[in-house]
């Protein structure tokens, strides 16, 4: 077997050296009746060529986003990732190392994480960021727990514009932890009155911008009301590129900012692996979940980096830890950081403007299609339209024509009476031809 | 033709000892690398993208006014920055990485190639299911392999790493207890002292109370101790098997029976599954839920700290309580069900993450499993156990094994008893290993052993590689006995940096780069 260097002769002589008559002597603690006699009922070993053939055939049964006009978003976004990003993250020294427990031989990872933390803090307008969470949704649930620890209250209020799957992740963890959650009704037009829900019993308010329907939200009034009542404002984003163009939550008074970092440096990957971004105020850092890289010096007074403040973490604090998280999203954080370094401030601003311009162009085109109503007044690169009939069936019919038109709201919020709503995302990857194809197909479908 | 006139070709007759500092601070291939914030410029970009034509923005009053302060680098500068950083990292591809409990095995590159096929990498989680039948098929096939290898009835695929899998399993247990009407009475989770820190942290996160079970003298858990700790308030036990001392729990079947008799469930931490794949099926032992670290046992890369993947296999008793989303076959097609009530039976407990789990890791793990096949997977586990025992025997006479000559599973545990009164600690010993070109083993874990050194060589090492590793560690132990303190106390000497001051980092945390204050001459003069 190509992955196993030991030869049969090695095995025999090593067993002799150990003093074991056969390999099963080393498994003597396994109850004899539980030790498998037969091999598992699974196929036998295969060469590279065969495995590649089998898995390529499975992959070919999927419609790859890049092969069709593609407007699907709702929490994961298709952007162009520079070739150098994927090359660099496949360097052995990044790919095949682990958590930097031995800092003297892990400065590459540690310095990268320190740079990543700074990038995330600056992007979100916050003071400090951790070295990543699994993804935006789990980061969001952890942010709520963190707010409960800080405020010593147990009630979270979730905006109706929060991604419904994020809300469900928060509700699941909160229910299990015995905490209270109040979820506002789906808020398609960003008209909900969250101020009225904030009182002295509320630990935190969770609000997303751009929200799941694409609306941009000014968080300043919410932040003020939260702070008057001793509550925290948790701001969520699912499209990190938007922060190149819109005011960051940190500048609007957010106490914790969490979001999905996939859209910078990472592929769609059918939902994972992604990378959760998590930032907060300096004063809350000791209540933060996750790993932190910090600057220090070595025995020669040279600058270096280590994992720090680990007394928050499970491997030291066990049941008193701020979170149970251990392995996070290191390599995805690296991809994010490299892509962000390539973009730089000027590149990110331009990328964000191109996204916004493409979405505005598409919204204007769709607004002219009979049977389509664009609902958003403002948005970044994703907006909601109302169509005549059932959006889900419409999306299926367009998929049959090899156009992936977007996410029907009923996919995220079944039985909410929002079956005629469709979320449409447009990034720099869309061409004029893509937009024309979508508009033509929609026009023809809705004309019936 | 090359002109070699006057060019010396020898090494120099009397090369002097030399430790002069270089102008750059570099030492040939060992280079210093500044932060991107020190070398980048905000107006520079490594990406060419044209500004859009004039249009009317629809940003309300929310256009960004706050500075971004994000430096950019051109592509060649970016390549150089990250390549230089990478050269400061140890990695499996560069050498033996015996980090116990982490299973640092070879990461096949076929996995990387296949995970990048557009049909897997360039697919959105919310595309119509008619366009992702291959992705769903891959999840179904991988689930089948995991269930066959563990004897499970169901598997929850969405957990994002081991600790997330623990959370999934413990939530399923909580949901099952609630369905029995015992959600509020059974609050205690039994956790042996030797457990990973994630176990008690997970239990506490969702409101369980942790009750510690002491390990026996021999490093294992006794069924009697579990039986005595069991009562009507006990929800579950979280047991690692093979355990963190590198031993297979000999009374695991009795422990399972004890917890089941008491009305609780058996959560198994599957971090050490690599020792027993194809040898024994955890659910046959009485396990109700176990996470599988695809980044340990099934070779997906560790990536400097993730991403991992932690699918959770479930016994018949817990299968109805798996989280959404669910996969269901409808004729020839596969569907994803997202609504908890659509699962049909039981009381699924909700959702753990926005989408369907770590698809990129699923592709890699299945590529690895198919490559090995049932025969190769069993051989891999046997080789992992063989290599660990070979290390155990090769070092047993010069280091101290807390549990004597007992065979181990896939990792060999030593304590610091043999370092007693030498002035050298486990940490010093580990740092001296760095100078010898090795990544140290896991140190000071498990907590039940003083100054623990947990060595997991994995099946990826050749005999020659292990022999050299053993000889190197033996040489270090001889050095200890000769009292050569300086080889340890100041180590590492040859790494890119000398020993780092972790206390300073924690006392005065600097967690991000900030622009240095401008130099003012008057102040400097004061």
Same domain, B352 and B455: no
B16 vs chain A: nearest CA distance in angstroms? 24
Virtual CA dihedral for B126, B127, B131, B135, nearest 10 degrees? -30
Of A136, A165, A306, the CB nearest to B502: A306
Q: Give the residues across from B238 on adjacent strands.
A: B267
Same domain, B385 and B329: no
The answer as to whether B517 is a domain residue is: no
- Mean pLDDT score, A296-323: 91
- What CATH number corresponds to the domain at position B121? 3.40.640.10
- Following DSSP, what letter does each residue of B94-150 receive, concatenated? GS---BTTT------HHHHHHHTSHHHHT--TTS-GGGBHHHHHHHHHHHHHHHHHH
The answer as to whether B421 is a domain residue is: yes
Same domain, B402 and B337: no
- What CATH number corresponds to the domain at position B466? 3.90.1150.10
- CB A422, CB A394: distance < 8 Å: yes
- CB A234, CB A203: distance < 8 Å: no
Residues 258 to 297 of A: which have CB under 8 A from any B CB?
260, 267-273, 275, 285, 291-297
Same domain, B352 and B451: no
- CB B73, CB A119: distance < 8 Å: no
CA A5, A11, A14, A19 torsion: positive or negative? positive
pLDDT band for B382, please (50, 70, 90 cuts).
Answer: very high
Distance of CA B483 to the CA centre of its chain: 35
Residues in A touching B510 (Cβ below 8 Å): 294-296
Inform me whether the C-beta atom of residue B285 falls under 8 Å from chain A C-beta atoms: yes
pLDDT of residue B412: 98
- Burial class of residue B146 (count of CB atoms within 10 Å of its CB; 0-12, 13-18, 19+): buried
Of B85, B201, B304, the CB nearest to A98: B304
Q: Is the per-residue pLDDT at B56 higher than 80?
A: yes
**A79-137 confidence digits (pLDDT tens):** 999 999 999 999 999 999 999 999 999 999 999 999 999 999 999 999 999 999 999 99
Rounded Cα–Cα distance for residues A209 and A306 (Å): 33
Rounded Cα–Cα distance for residues B293 and A98 (Å): 14
Same domain, B221 and B325: yes
Residues in A touching B127 (Cβ below 8 Å): 63, 65, 72, 399, 404
Which of the listed residues B319, B336, B368 is the one where a domain comes to its end?
Answer: B368
Quick one: tokens of B419?
A: 């370092």
Domain A68-80+345-447, classified CATH 3.40.640.10, yes or no: no
Rounded Cα–Cα distance for residues A288 and A292 (Å): 9
pLDDT of residue B340: 60
- CB A166, CB A136: distance < 8 Å: yes
Which of the listed residues B321, B349, B368 is the one where a domain comes to its end?
Answer: B368
Inform me whether the C-beta atom of residue B190 falls under 8 Å from chain A C-beta atoms: no
Rounded Cα–Cα distance for residues A192 and A185 (Å): 8
**A407-434 confidence digits (pLDDT tens):** 999 999 998 999 999 999 999 999 999 9
Same domain, B350 and B424: no
- Mean pLDDT score, B433-452: 96
Residues in A touching B435 (Cβ below 8 Å): none
Q: Is the per-residue pLDDT at B505 higher than 80?
A: yes
* Domain of B471, in residue numbers: 375-497
Neighbours of B467 (CB within 10 A): 14
Cβ contact (<8 Å) for A285 and B509? yes
Of B50, B206, B280, the CB nearest to A36: B280
Kindly provide the ipTM of the predicted complex, given to two decimals: 0.98
Same domain, B334 and B428: no
Residues in B touching A78 (Cβ below 8 Å): 122, 124
**B208-255 confidence digits (pLDDT tens):** 999 999 889 999 999 999 999 999 999 999 999 999 999 999 999 999
**A21-62 confidence digits (pLDDT tens):** 999 999 999 999 999 999 999 999 999 999 999 999 999 999
pLDDT of residue B13: 62
The answer as to whether B516 is a domain residue is: no
pLDDT band for B1, please (50, 70, 90 cuts).
Answer: low
Phi/psi at A335 (5° precision): -60, -45
pLDDT of residue A316: 82
Across all residues in chain A, what is the average pLDDT? 97
pLDDT of residue B18: 80
pLDDT of residue A31: 97
For the ranges A254-258, A319-323, B160-164, B398-402, the lowest mean pLDDT is seen at A319-323
Same domain, B136 and B234: yes
- CB B301, CB A334: distance < 8 Å: no
Rg over alpha carbons for chain A, rounded to the nearest Å, is: 25
Rounded Cα–Cα distance for residues B413 and B496 (Å): 29
Distances (CA, A) of A48 to A276, B193, B367: 34, 43, 9
Size of interface A-B (CB pairs under 8 A): 723
Same domain, B299 and B348: yes
CA count, 13 A, side-chain hemisphere, B77:
20
For the ranges A305-309, A341-345, B23-27, the lowest mean pLDDT is seen at B23-27
Residues 15 to 74 of A: which have CB under 8 A from any B CB?
15, 17-20, 23, 25-31, 34-36, 39-48, 51-52, 54-56, 58-67, 70, 72, 74
Residues 6+ apart with CB under 8 A from B348: B175, B320, B321, B322, B323, B324, B326, B340
- Mean pLDDT score, A326-342: 96
pLDDT of residue B521: 67
Rounded Cα–Cα distance for residues B488 and B342 (Å): 61
Same domain, B355 and B397: no
Inform me whether the C-beta atom of residue A395 falls under 8 Å from chain B C-beta atoms: yes
Inform me whether the C-beta atom of residue B160 falls under 8 Å from chain A C-beta atoms: yes
The answer as to whether B86 is a domain residue is: no
Top CATH class of A83-339 equals: alpha beta
Cβ contact (<8 Å) for A271 and B354? yes
* Total domains, chain B: 2
Percentage, residues of chain B above pLDDT 70: 96
The answer as to whether B276 is a domain residue is: yes
The answer as to whether B395 is a domain residue is: yes
Rounded Cα–Cα distance for residues A151 and A202 (Å): 9
pLDDT of residue B346: 52
pLDDT of residue A194: 96
Residues 6+ apart with CB under 8 A from A400: B130
Instruction: For B356, name the nearest residue in chain A, comparing CA atoms only.
Output: A271
Same domain, B362 and B408: no
Residues in B touching A340 (Cβ below 8 Å): 70
Instruction: For B137, name the nearest residue in chain A, comparing CA atoms only.
Output: A58
pLDDT of residue B328: 85
- Name the residue ranges covered by the structural domains of chain A: 68-80+345-447, 83-339
Rounded Cα–Cα distance for residues B346 and B284 (Å): 23
CA angle B100, B498, B78 (to 5 degrees): 85
Residues in B touching A358 (Cβ below 8 Å): 52
Q: Is the per-residue pLDDT at B261 higher than 70?
A: yes
Residues 304 to 363 of A: which have CB under 8 A from any B CB?
304-306, 308-311, 313-321, 323-332, 334, 338, 340-351, 353-354, 356-358, 360-361, 363
**B304-351 confidence digits (pLDDT tens):** 999 999 999 999 999 999 998 888 888 889 988 876 655 555 567 899
Same domain, B331 and B422: no
A304-321 burial code (b ≥16 CB/10 A, e <16): bbbbbbbebbbbebbbeb
């Amino acid at each position: 077997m190509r992955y196993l260097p030991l030869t049969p002769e090695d095995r025999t002589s090593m067993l002799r050296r150990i003093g074991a008559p056969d390999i099963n002597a080393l498994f003597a603690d396994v109850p004899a009746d539980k030790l498998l006699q037969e091999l598992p009922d699974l196929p036998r070993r295969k060469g590279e060529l065969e495995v590649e053939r089998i898995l390529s055939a499975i992959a070919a049964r999927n419609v790859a986003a890049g092969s069709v006009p593609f407007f699907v978003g709702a929490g994961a976004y298709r952007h162009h990732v520079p070739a150098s990003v994927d090359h660099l993250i496949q360097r052995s020294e990044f790919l095949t190392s682990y958590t930097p427990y031995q800092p003297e031989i892990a400065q590459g990872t540690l310095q990268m994480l320190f740079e990543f933390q700074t990038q995330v803090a600056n992007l979100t307008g916050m003071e400090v960021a951790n070295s990543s969470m699994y993804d935006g949704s789990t980061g969001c649930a952890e942010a709520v727990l963190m707010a409960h620890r800080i405020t010593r209250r147990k009630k979270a209020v979730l905006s109706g514009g929060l991604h419904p799957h994020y809300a469900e992740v928060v509700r699941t963890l909160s229910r299990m932890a015995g905490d209270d959650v109040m979820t506002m009704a789906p808020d398609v037009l960003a008209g909900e009155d969250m101020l009225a829900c904030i009182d002295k019993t509320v630990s935190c308010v969770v609000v997303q911008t751009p929200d799941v329907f694409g609306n941009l939200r000014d968080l300043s009034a919410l932040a003020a009301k939260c702070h008057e009542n001793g509550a925290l404002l948790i701001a969520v984003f699912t499209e990190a590129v938007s922060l190149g163009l819109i005011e960051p939550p940190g500048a609007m008074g957010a106490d914790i900012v969490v979001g999905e970092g996939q859209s910078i440096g990472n592929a769609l990957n059918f939902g994972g692996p992604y990378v959760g971004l998590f930032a907060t105020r300096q004063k809350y850092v000791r209540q933060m979940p996750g790993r932190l890289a910090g600057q220090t010096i070595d025995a020669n007074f040279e600058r270096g980096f280590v994992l720090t403040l680990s007394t928050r973490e499970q491997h030291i604090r066990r049941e008193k830890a701020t979170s149970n998280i251990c392995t996070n999203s290191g390599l995805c954080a690296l991809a994010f950081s490299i892509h962000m370094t390539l973009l730089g401030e000027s590149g990110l601003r331009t990328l964000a403007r191109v996204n916004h311009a493409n979405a505005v162009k598409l919204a204007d085109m769709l607004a002219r299609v009979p049977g389509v109503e664009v609902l958003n007044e403002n948005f970044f690169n994703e907006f909601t339209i109302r169509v005549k009939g059932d959006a889900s069936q419409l999306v299926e019919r367009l998929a049959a024509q090899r156009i992936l038109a977007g996410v029907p709201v009923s996919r995220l919020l079944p039985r909410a009476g929002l079956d005629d709503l469709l979320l449409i995302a447009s990034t720099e990857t869309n061409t004029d031809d893509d937009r024309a194809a979508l508009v033509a197909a929609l026009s023809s479908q809705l004309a019936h | 033709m090359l002109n070699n006139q006057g060019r010396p070709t020898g090494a120099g007759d009397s090369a002097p000892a030399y430790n002069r500092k270089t102008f750059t601070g570099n030492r040939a291939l060992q280079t210093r690398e500044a932060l991107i914030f020190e070398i980048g410029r905000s107006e520079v970009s490594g990406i060419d993208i044209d500004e859009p034509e004039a249009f009317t923005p629809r940003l309300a009053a929310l256009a960004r006014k706050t500075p971004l302060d994000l430096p950019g680098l051109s592509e060649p500068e970016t390549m150089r920055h990250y390549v230089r950083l990478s050269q400061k990292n140890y990695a499996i591809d560069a050498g033996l990485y015996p980090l116990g409990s982490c299973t640092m095995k070879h990461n096949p590159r076929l996995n990387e190639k296949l995970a990048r096929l557009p049909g897997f990498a360039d697919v959105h989680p919310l595309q119509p299911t008619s366009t992702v039948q291959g992705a769903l098929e891959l999840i179904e096939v991988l689930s089948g392999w995991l269930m066959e290898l563990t004897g499970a009835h169901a598997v929850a695929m969405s957990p994002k790493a081991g600790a997330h899998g623990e959370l999934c399993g413990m939530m399923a247990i909580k949901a099952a207890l609630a369905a029995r009407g015992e959600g509020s009475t059974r609050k205690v989770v039994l956790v042996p002292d030797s457990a990973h820190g994630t176990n008690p942290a997970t239990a506490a996160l969702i409101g369980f109370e942790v009750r510690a079970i002491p390990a026996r003298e021999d490093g294992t858990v006794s069924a009697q101790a579990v039986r005595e700790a069991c009562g009507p308030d006990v929800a579950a036990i979280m047991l690692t098997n093979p355990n963190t001392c590198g031993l297979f729990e000999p009374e695991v079947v009795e422990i399972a029976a004890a917890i089941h008799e008491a009305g609780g469930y058996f959560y198994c931490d599957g971090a050490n599954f690599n020792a027993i794949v194809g040898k024994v099926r955890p659910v046959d032992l009485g396990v109700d839920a176990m996470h599988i670290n695809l980044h340990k046992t099934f070779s997906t890369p560790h990536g400097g700290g993730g991403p991992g993947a932690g699918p959770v296999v479930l016994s018949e008793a817990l299968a109805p309580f798996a989280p959404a989303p669910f996969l269901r076959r409808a004729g020839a097609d596969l569907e994803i069900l997202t609504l908890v009530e659509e699962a049909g039976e039981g009381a699924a407990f909700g959702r753990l993450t926005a989408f369907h789990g770590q698809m990129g890791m699923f592709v890699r793990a299945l590529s690895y499993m198919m490559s090995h096949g049932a025969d190769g997977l069993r051989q891999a586990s046997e080789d992992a156990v063989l290599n660990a025992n070979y290390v155990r025997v090769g070092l047993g006479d010069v280091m101290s094994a807390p549990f004597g000559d007992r065979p181990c599973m896939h990792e060999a545990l030593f304590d610091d008893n043999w370092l007693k009164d030498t002035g050298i600690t486990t940490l010093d010993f580990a740092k001296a290993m760095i100078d010898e070109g090795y990544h140290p083993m896991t140190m000071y874990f498990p907590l039940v052993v003083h100054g623990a050194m947990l060595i997991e060589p994995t099946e990826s090492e050749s005999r020659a590689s292990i022999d050299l590793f053993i000889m190197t560690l033996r040489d270090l132990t001889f050095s200890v006995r000769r009292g050569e303190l300086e080889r340890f106390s100041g180590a590492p000497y040859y790494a890119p940096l000398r020993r780092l001051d972790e206390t300073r980092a924690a006392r005065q945390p600097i967690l991000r780069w900030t622009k240095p204050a401008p130099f003012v001459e008057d102040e400097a003069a004061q």
